[in-house]
A and B are shown apart, each in its own frame.
Chain A
């Protein structure tokens, strides 16, 4: 399966713990995007990364959230000291990075529940 892979699919954390979400892009894709979906809402852009570079993190909360996409390995979205309001579905997407229209393909998501 050459699709976008995310793990874990479900993650339960207590308030104050750390959450690490992983994303492996589609084969051949070098651009990764993270989105968050709160209940009853659409997906909201968080961050856009290329290998070893954060291109745009304007949608990410300034504190506690960070993202990386190392030269080797998956992209990681890290949430420190989680709070109940962080409970959401986090989706990763990847694309080829074409100039002009560039379709993003999504992974199955990680559902984070903060107790």
Chain B
């Protein structure tokens, strides 16, 4: 049962523009959400997280938005840079739990 879904397998964006990655979840118990970035042949790197008590968290060029009623979160990257080309995974968990449930990932390609 896929509790975290990233419905867009890929995204192509021009350098300097905004990248918007979407993620939906089905388990209403999830209250902590994370985004990881992964380059080929490397492990996922933690990018940014958000707790369900917030609806927005910002860190430099990265902002995560959480809409609890819609069970939806998104990651905005502004401006997109060539080094942002990678696979981005959305993950969710219950904060007193430890299992991360991952989406299948979205491959972002930033065009020069």
Interface residues of A (CB under 8 A from B): 4, 6, 31, 33, 35, 40-45, 48, 55-56, 59, 91, 93, 95, 99-109, 111
**B99 in contact with A42 (CB, 8 Å):** no
Distance in angstroms from A75 CB to nearest chain B CB is: 15
Q: A35-B100, A42-B89, A107-B43 are in contact. List 17 more A-B contacts (CB 8 A).
A: A6-B43, A42-B102, A42-B104, A42-B105, A43-B44, A43-B91, A45-B101, A48-B98, A48-B99, A59-B99, A91-B43, A101-B49, A103-B34, A104-B46, A104-B98, A106-B44, A109-B43
**From B43, which residue of chain A is reached at the shortest CB distance?**
A106
CB–CB A40/B104 < 8 A: yes
How many contacts A-B (CB < 8 Å)? 64
B99 engages A56 (CB within 8 Å): yes
Interface residues of B (CB under 8 A from A): 4, 6, 32, 34, 36, 41-46, 49, 51, 89, 91, 95-96, 98-105
Q: Return the chain A residue nearest B34 by Cβ.
A: A103
B102 neighbours in A (Cβ, 8 Å): 35, 42-44
> Are the C-beta atoms of B46 and A103 separated by less than 8 Å?
yes
A43 touches B98 (CB 8 A): no
**Which residue among B4, B42, B44 has the maximum number of chain A CB atoms within 10 Å of its CB?**
B44
Question: Looking at the complex, which one of A99, A107, A109 makes contact with B96 (CB distance below 8 Å)?
Answer: A99
Closest-by-CB residue of B relative to A108 is: B43
Residues of A within 8 A of B51 (CB): 101
A54 to chain B, nearest CB (A): 13
